[in-house]
Structure formats: structure tokens, C-alpha cells
């Protein structure tokens, strides 16, 4: 795999008010590609003082992909969800004890959604490389750029993460080390260069995890991806304890997100496995 640097133009804004004052011709909608079962006790870190008495409980949550349509830059996906192989095999053809299990109905795979909506895919951004966010790459076009954050591919192990990136010749990496830190959420990059779509460095769930902000005419939308799994993470202020690379870092990241949402209550927020809602 050839890793290339994702080139972007630095936006000089210093705060989000300035960003939100200039909304863009960009829309976002979600597709559900199957479901995954998570445990409440892993989703809300039981060791956190605010967690209370978290009980073991299985939660079946949606696996989501976001479709961003930009007036000039065309159709973009944020994450790739699941491909059709999961319709007949909950492991998507992967083997091993650490392989995740998902449920996918017919006509729910990402390529189906793309065709169904007449999407002409130009670019795919992946928040991180977990199966429920990246497996769908297997049925997406090969001749478009795929973009992850720097550091994420270093952790990529085919025996755990699967063959999702197979056949791609190159991957673009976003380097957040030079990114503008916009308080309170931190390193943020205007990835299309016009203020319409931002990526925000939110490490913890994985080393290079990133979230997104869509600055459209209908108001700003923050897509936390797996920096918060469900709304309860945002409401309680407790980050996940399981499924997480660095629990402390994930907690710090979640707190920054919550601070951001409190400061900008007009922002609608979608956690990684939950629907969009007006702030917290």
C-alpha cells in the first residue's frame, strides 16, 4: 500500500462561530448498513465515577454511513459500512476469534444504497478502520481517493481488520500535527477548503480516529463517529470502556466534544451508532 499525504489548504478561522456564519451548499444524510450488538457495560465505562451502576445489557445498534453531497465537489462518503458479503455471512468472510459479527439484511449494503440514490462517488473518508466502518470499501470503486488519518494504517492488521483495503493501490493520510486547533474541540481541518466539511482529530477509540462536521445550510452537524457510540455517552459524559484502544484518551476526547456541543447548542450531533439529534 502506498501512503500519500492528503494535501489541504489551511483555513485561518479561529472559532466555530465564524465557521457557522458561513454555511455552505452541502447536505448530509445517513444510510444504515446493518446492525451490531454491543454491551451497555462496554459502551459506558463502568469504572467512570459518573457511570453509576451500569448493567450488562445487549444493545443492537445501527451501522451508519454518511453521504455528503457537495454542490461542486460531488458525492462523498464518510465511512463505508458493510458490503453485501455480510448478508449471508455475519463475519463477512473473515475467520478468527477476534472477528466481529454483524447483521445485514438484503438491499442494505453500501453499494446498494449508492446505486439506489444515483450517487457518483468521488471520495471516501474513513473515520477509522474497524470492520463496521470500513468493510464496505470492498464493493466501492477502486479509482477514487480513500482518506484516513495518519497513524491509523499503522494499526491495521489484516487478520483482525480483514481484507477491506485489498486492491487499493494508495491511501491518503491526513496529518493533524499541523492542523489549526479550534477550541474547545482541538485540531480541525477544513478538508474541502471552503468551510463545508471539517474533520476533527478525536483519538482514543483508535489512535487516529477522526470525527466530521458538516456545515450546511440546514445548520451544522457533528458526526462523532466512534468517539461516542450512542447518545448516552454524550448525555452522561462517560466514554466507552470496551472496544477502545486508549480509554483515558477516549474520555478526554469525549469531554472536548461535550464542551463543544454545550458552547454551540445549534449543532446537531450524531454519535457513531445513533441518530442525529439537536445537541445534548
Stretch that binds Zn ion, among 18-26, 50-58, 145-153, 224-232 (CB under 5 A): 224-232
Nearest approach, Cβ of 226 to Zn ion (angstroms)? 4
Residue 130 lies near Zn ion (rule: CB under 5 A):
yes
In the complex with Zn ion, the residue whose CB is nearer, 108 or 130, is 130
Q: Which of 61, 57, 108 lies closest to 83 in space, CA to CA?
A: 108
Min separation Cβ 131 and Zn ion, Å: 8
Eight-state DSSP code of residue 81? -
Q: Rounded to the nearest whole angstrom, what is the least distance from the CB of residue 246 to Zn ion in the complex?
A: 13
Stretch that binds Zn ion, among 2-10, 12-20, 169-177, 219-227 (CB under 5 A): 219-227
Residues 30/66, Cβ–Cβ less than 8 Å: yes
Phi-psi region of 195 (alpha: psi -120 to 50; beta: other; left: phi over 0): left
Q: Which stretch binds Zn ion (CB under 5 A): 9-17, 125-133, 144-152, 244-252?
A: 125-133
How far apart, in whole angstroms, are the C-alpha atoms of residue 222 and residue 271?
Answer: 8
Instruction: Give the one residue of 185, 221, 226, 233 binding Zn ion; rule: CB under 5 A.
Output: 226
Residue nearest Zn ion by beta-carbon distance: 130
Closer residue to Zn ion in complex, CB, 32/180: 32
Q: Which residue has the cell 492542523?
A: 179
Peptide bond preceding 225 in cis form (omega within 30 of 0) = no
Backbone angles phi, psi at 144, to 5 degrees: -125, 160
Binding site for Zn ion (CB under 5 A): 130, 226
Amino acid at each position: 500500500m502506498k501512503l500519500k499525504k492528503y494535501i489541504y489548504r489551511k483555513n485561518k478561522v479561529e472559532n466555530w462561530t465564524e465557521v457557522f456564519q458561513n454555511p455552505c451548499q452541502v447536505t448530509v444524510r445517513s444510510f444504515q448498513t446493518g446492525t451490531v450488538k454491543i454491551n451497555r457495560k462496554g459502551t459506558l465505562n463502568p469504572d467512570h465515577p459518573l457511570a453509576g451502576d451500569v448493567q450488562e445489557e445487549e444493545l443492537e445498534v445501527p451501522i451508519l454511513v454518511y453521504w455528503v453531497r457537495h454542490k461542486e465537489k460531488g458525492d462523498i462518503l464518510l465511512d463505508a459500512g458493510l458490503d453485501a458479503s455480510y448478508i449471508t455471512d455475519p463475519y463477512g468472510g473473515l475467520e478468527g476469534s477476534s472477528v466481529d459479527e454483524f447483521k445485514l439484511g438484503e438491499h442494505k449494503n453500501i453499494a446498494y444504497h449508492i446505486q439506489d440514490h444515483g450517487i457518483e462517488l468521488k471520495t471516501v473518508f474513513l473515520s477509522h478502520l474497524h470492520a463496521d466502518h470500513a468493510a464496505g470499501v470492498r464493493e466501492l470503486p477502486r479509482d477514487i481517493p480513500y482518506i484516513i488519518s495518519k497513524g491509523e494504517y499503522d494499526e491495521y492488521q489484516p487478520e483482525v481488520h480483514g481484507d477491506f483495503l485489498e486492491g487499493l493501490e494508495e491511501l491518503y493520510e491526513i496529518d493533524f500535527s499541523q492542523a489549526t486547533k479550534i477550541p474547545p474541540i482541538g485540531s480541525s481541518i477544513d478538508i474541502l477548503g471552503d468551510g463545508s466539511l471539517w474533520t476533527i482529530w478525536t483519538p482514543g477509540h483508535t489512535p487516529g480516529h477522526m470525527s466530521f462536521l458538516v456545515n450546511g445550510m440546514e445548520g451544522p452537524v457533528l458526526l462523532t463517529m466512534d468517539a461516542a457510540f450512542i447518545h448516552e455517552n454524550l448525555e452522561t459524559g462517560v466514554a466507552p470502556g470496551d472496544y477502545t484502544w486508549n480509554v483515558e484518551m477516549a474520555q478526554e476526547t469525549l469531554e472536548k466534544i461535550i464542551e463543544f456541543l454545550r458552547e454551540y447548542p445549534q449543532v446537531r450531533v450524531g454519535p457513531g451508532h445513533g441518530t442525529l439529534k439537536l445537541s445534548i
